[in-house]
Chain A
């Protein structure tokens, strides 16, 4: 039992994080052409609405929620100190979780019921769908049966995650948690480990920069103005765009 706990709660996270880091950087640097969200909206644009939107907004909210609980556990606990606020947070999160699950099921059905999409689907897509559905389902299960997750996440899981990231893994508290929570943790790290081998990489390159960059982009092979001035030394800059 102890060995099993050590494997899933210590070894798996480290393997997953290592694979994620090395794999994502390698793919970004050397497989730029394969770095894409691989949108299939162009082949099927109607059913996607009922899948992509509920899924993405749901996962966005829940990801930010988990991240907040990890980064600022005290503020989450402070927020939850008032029962009404705790209820609001839990119910909102649960609704987003359901929206995510509905979205995922719709996406899965869409992908396998539209003949054209068969040709832009690979096995990894199915793996992702099943993993995400499992993960979302477990999350909802935990939220329903082991209340109130947002509070005990901050006191139990945040220290565990900190211990992982500070390379001093401490599973004493986590290993006592019920099996659905453990499965949720295992699922999370499995998904992290699988990112570099799937289309999930697109979540690593959100285009936030677009919000403040100028509309137009002009690229020069090199700044000729600089080169032609006799006062500055001559240097060749590799252009950004090649």
Chain B
């Protein structure tokens, strides 16, 4: 047993309101620089949708992640042979148009234009060439299902879904969607690390953050191909790849990363997971249907005395073990088994977990006869011509797992490598919590009904209360349980950056200048 610690995250998708505050917080701190304008280390996607970069989930296009052949896993689009022979020209590299051409507006024209007959306008200009452009794409161009014939309908996750089911999904009245915030997964079996020819990318042993050493990166650009989540970005100006650093300077100081700290819906949880590094390879090479279970197997119980002993042997600090025991991530992922990794079939063992959204499941829309109701209305009142009813009556609310507005297959394709039963199990649990709480707070549900649902979900009332408390009422300290790096280490870990403040980030003392 080789125990290591990992800072891991949980996203409670039911709480995400799609406000993009996380993206903006991240952008303002880290990627508001030349060459990095197009990068969104944190982005929020509307699902169904094609995402950013367009159709990133379709590995037939992007060749990211690992693939299993003859029982062994290898990188799909990079790797040792392919990486070294494709080094002069990488056939699987996305280009900037797969993301979008970054743009700004000529705001100065608004105040500096000479007087004339027309209102001055701020024309959009490219942030690469400075020339006026027609904006055709953005990082969230399909937000809230905007332009869904072009975007939502091309979602790679719709592959296994029949045309009839898709029609049901897209009928405007039945349209359902949810938001999917994404950052770097800081995987246990990172494809970017494995693909880097110059060895610039590494995983930190102390907290599992995956970083790119900017002085070692030589722009061989294999990481961009290899990362199946497309979270390694090539800075076209500096000729270096960059990625989410999980705000490690903040983490080391015991602060939550900017995206998590600023989250309006409070959907994000961050905590330590202890894991067994010896189990990584078997877990990543497991069969498709065992992937999630074997990934959960890698995560260790922080209360197990044997684990604690092994952790101490490995030099994991007591504060870290303590944090692991109070980790909200551990509760969601392993204790309650509510959260699932995004696209486990890419086999990178992502350390970012999602509680699948219940919202597209709850409440159905059905056709009703509205004439009686409409006759009661004032003659001047607007009469709705459609007769759809958004049904959220108590009776309907709890019996809808089989009549969901989203094909189960779709959610399963995102979070469980196609295992529909697994998704149903999570939804049953989430519903049981709600039914239980409804009984406690409103009391219009019978004891038998509550007992039955809790039993079906394999839960007790106490656990339901715990889940409810951490979902709805958590304090800041309960959502983010971060062991600060030990002070004496934290100081030595970085060069003093005071003299280059405002110029460079962390780690590099010189001025950031493009090579010649």
Contact = CB atoms under 8 A, between A and B. Distances in A.
A202 interface: yes
Interface in A174-191: none
Given A42-B234, A207-B199, A209-B199, A218 B204 contact: yes
Contact of B203 (A197, A219, A242): A219
A43 B220 contact: no
B514 interface: yes
B198 A42 contact: no
Contacts of A209: 199
Q: Which are the 10 A-B pairs with shortest beta-carbon distances?
A: A224-B315, A32-B215, A207-B197, A34-B515, A215-B194, A220-B205, A36-B239, A38-B239, A56-B88, A210-B197
A147 interface: no
Nearest to A238: B492
B214 A41 contact: no
B380 interface: no
Contacts, number: 163
Interface in B282-331: 313-316
B203 A217 contact: yes
A216 B87 contact: no
A224 B514 CA distance: 37
29 contacts: A32-B214, A33-B214, A33-B512, A33-B515, A36-B219, A36-B239, A36-B515, A37-B219, A39-B221, A41-B89, A42-B234, A49-B91, A57-B88, A119-B129, A120-B237, A197-B516, A210-B83, A210-B84, A210-B197, A215-B194, A218-B203, A218-B204, A220-B204, A221-B493, A223-B315, A225-B314, A227-B315, A228-B315, A242-B493
Given A210-B84, A227-B315, 20 more contacts: A33-B508, A33-B510, A33-B513, A33-B515, A34-B514, A42-B94, A42-B221, A42-B234, A52-B89, A198-B516, A207-B84, A207-B197, A207-B218, A213-B199, A216-B203, A218-B203, A219-B203, A225-B313, A236-B492, A239-B493
Interface in A100-156: 115-116, 118-120, 122, 124
A122 B217 contact: no
A241 interface: yes
A40 interface: yes
A231 interface: no
Q: B313, B492, B513: which has the most chain A beta carbons within 10 Å?
A: B492
A124 B516 contact: yes
B494 interface: yes
A42 B96 contact: yes
A241 to B, nearest CB: 6
Interface string B485-506: 0000100111100000000000
B115 to A, nearest CB: 33
Interface string B62-78: 00000000000000000
A205 interface: yes
A48 interface: yes
Nearest to A209: B199
Contacts of A116: 96, 128-129
A46 to B, nearest CB: 8
Interface of B: 4, 80, 83-84, 87-91, 93-96, 128-129, 131, 189-190, 193-194, 196-199, 201-206, 211, 213-221, 224, 234, 236-240, 277, 280, 313-316, 489, 492-495, 507-508, 510, 512-516
B513 A119 contact: no
B349 to A, nearest CB: 11
Nearest to A216: B193
Contacts of A213: 199
A207 B95 contact: no
A35 B215 contact: yes
Contacts of B510: 30-31, 33
A49 B80 CA distance: 21
B407 to A, nearest CB: 35
A230 to B, nearest CB: 13
A41 B90 contact: yes
A36 B238 contact: yes
A220 B218 contact: no
Contacts of A66: none
Contacts of B219: 36-39, 202
A74 to B, nearest CB: 31
B196 to A, nearest CB: 8
A83 interface: no
Nearest to B95: A45
Contacts of B193: 215-217
Contact of B315 (A32, A35, A225, A241): A225
A211 interface: yes
A122 B513 CA distance: 13
A12 interface: no
A199 B515 CA distance: 7
B80 A211 contact: yes
A38 B89 contact: no
A170 B4 CA distance: 62
Interface in A64-86: none
A41 B495 CA distance: 33
B494 A221 contact: no
A113 to B, nearest CB: 14
Interface string A157-197: 00000000000000000000000000000000000000001
A228 B318 CA distance: 13
Given A39-B239, A42-B93, A220-B206, A242 B84 contact: no
B337 to A, nearest CB: 27
B131 A35 contact: no
Contacts of B236: 40, 42-43, 120
B213 A221 contact: no
B515 A211 contact: no
Q: B84, B90, B211, B219: which has the most chain A beta carbons within 10 Å?
A: B219
A210 B80 CA distance: 7
A108 B500 CA distance: 37
Contacts of A36: 217-219, 238-240, 515
A120 B173 CA distance: 49
A56 B84 CA distance: 13
B240 A242 contact: no
Q: A211, A216, A223: which has the most chain B beta carbons within 10 Å?
A: A216
A221 B491 CA distance: 12
Nearest to B187: A216
Contacts of B89: 41, 48-49, 52-53, 56
Contacts of B493: 221, 239, 242
A115 B132 CA distance: 13
Q: B4, B199, B217, B515: which has the most chain A beta carbons within 10 Å?
A: B515
A105 to B, nearest CB: 16
B202 A241 contact: yes
Contacts of A198: 516
